[in-house]
Amino acid sequence: MVADDREIEADEQRLVRALENLFRNALEHGREDATVTVGSTQAGFYVADDGQGIATDHQDEVFEDGYTTNDDGTGFGLAIVQSIVEAHGWEITVRDSEDGGARFDVRGITPPTGREDGVTQSPPTDLSG
C-alpha cells in the first residue's frame, strides 16, 4: 500500500533496490499476508509493515553487514539499504510500526530542484518491474 504519491530526487536504480530490499525484508520476516505501507513524512518517507517487528535491543544491529535472524539469509539486505540511503546523504532508522511490525524511516531528503517542501506530487511509480 502506498499512502502518498511523492517525488524525490534520487538515483532511481539504487532507490528501487533499497525499496525492494525493505519489501523483501518485510515479507521474509513477516506473515504470509503481511501489509507493507510506504508513506511520506515532512523530512522523507517510511516503509512500515505489520509483521513481527524487530526487538528493540536488535534494532541497531539490523544494518550491520552479515546480521540475520534467518537461517537462509545473507544479512546484507538492510546493510545495502543503509549504504544506498547514506550515499544519498540521508539517514535511516528503524522502530516499531503502529501495526506491531517494523518501520524504517528515511530522513534528510532535500527538496527536489525548485521545491521547498522536499516533495512534489506525481503519479505512482510501478516498482513491480
**pLDDT cut 90: percent of the chain above it:** 43
pLDDT surpasses 80 at 74? no
Banded pLDDT at 102 (limits 50, 70, 90): very high
pTM: 0.80
DSSP assignment of the chain, as one string?
Answer: -B----B--S-HHHHHHHHHHHHHHHHHHS-TT--EEEEEETTEEEEEE-SS---GGGTTTTTSTT--SSTT--S-HHHHHHHHHHHTT-EEEEEE-TTSSEEEEEE-PPPPTT-SSS-B--PPP----
* Predicted pLDDT of residue 34: 85
CATH number of the structural domain spanning residue 17:
3.30.565.10
Query: Is residue 4 domain-resident?
Result: no
Q: Which residues span the domain enclosing 87?
A: 12-107
Banded pLDDT at 124 (limits 50, 70, 90): very low
Domain count, the chain: 1
What is the average pLDDT across 10-16?
94
